[in-house]
A and B are shown apart, each in its own frame.
Chain A
Amino acid sequence: MSTATQETTRGLVEITKVRKSFGAVEVLKGVSLTVEPGGVAVIVGPSGSGKSTLLRTINHLEKVDGGFIAIDGALVGYGIRGRRLHELREKEILKQRTEIGMVFQNFNLFPHLTALENVAEAPVVAPRAGKPRLSKAAARERGLELLDRVGLKDRAGAYPRQLSGGQQQRVAIARALALDPKILLFDEPTSALDPELVNEVLDVIRELAKSSTTLVIVTHEMGFARDVADTVVFMDQGRIVEQGTPQAIFTNPQEERTRSFFSKVIEPAFNI
Chain B
Amino acid sequence: MSSTATTVAQSAPEPVSAGAGTSTTEAPGPVSAPENGGAGSAPGTPGPATDYADYRVVPARHPWRWVGTAVVGLGVLGIAWSLATNPRWEWGVVAQWFTAKSIVDGLLETLKLTAISGALGFVLGFVLALMRLSASPLLLSVSWTFSWIFRSTPLLVQMLLWYNLGYLYEKISLGLPFTDVRFFEVQTTTLISQFAAAVLGLTLNQAAYSAEIIRGGILSVDQGQLEAAAALGIPAWRRSTRIVLPQAMRAILPTAFNEIIGLVKGTSIVYVLAYSELFYTVQVIYNRTQQVLPLLLVATLWYVVITSVLSVFQYYIERHYSRGAVRSLPLTPLQKARKFLSTHATDTRAKGLR
Contacts and interface: CB of A to CB of B under 8 A. Distances in A.
Contacts of A104: 224, 227-228
Contact of B234 (A61, A102, A112, A122): A122
Contacts of A108: 222, 224-225, 227-228
Contacts of B230: 61, 94, 97
Interface stretch (A30-38, A66-74, A158-166, A259-267): A158-166
A97 B323 contact: no
Interface in B216-257: 222, 224-225, 227-236, 238, 242-243, 246-247
Nearest to B249: A112
A125 B235 contact: yes
A111 B228 contact: no
Contact of B325 (A61, A98, A161, A176): A161
Nearest to B236: A90
Contacts of B323: 112, 159
Nearest to A160: B324
A215 B328 CA distance: 36
B232 A106 contact: no
A127 B236 CA distance: 12
A126 interface: yes
B144 interface: no
B321 interface: yes
Nearest to B326: A161
Contacts of B227: 61, 104, 108
Interface residue tally of chain B, by bracket? 20 to 34
Contact of B247 (A101, A111, A161): A111
A91 B235 contact: yes
A110 B231 CA distance: 13
Given A110-B247, A112-B323, A122-B234, 6 more contacts: A108-B227, A111-B324, A121-B232, A126-B235, A159-B323, A176-B232
A113 interface: yes
Contact of A112 (B224, B233, B247): B247
A94 B224 contact: no
B338 to A, nearest CB: 24
Given A110-B225, A111-B325, A112-B247, A125 B238 contact: yes
Residue among B231, B243, B327 with max Cβ neighbours from chain A (10 Å): B231
Interface of B: 222, 224-225, 227-236, 238, 242-243, 246-247, 321, 323-328
Interface residue tally of chain A, by bracket? 20 to 34
B244 to A, nearest CB: 10
Contacts of B243: 110
Contact of B324 (A90, A106, A159): A159
A144 interface: no
Residue among A111, A128, A159, A179 with max Cβ neighbours from chain B (10 Å): A111
A53 B17 CA distance: 75
B22 to A, nearest CB: 55
A59 interface: yes
A43 to B, nearest CB: 18
B11 to A, nearest CB: 58
Interface string A94-120: 110110111010101111111000000
A142 interface: no
Contact of A126 (B234, B247, B321, B327): B234
B232 A122 contact: yes
Contacts of A101: 231-232
Contacts of B328: 162
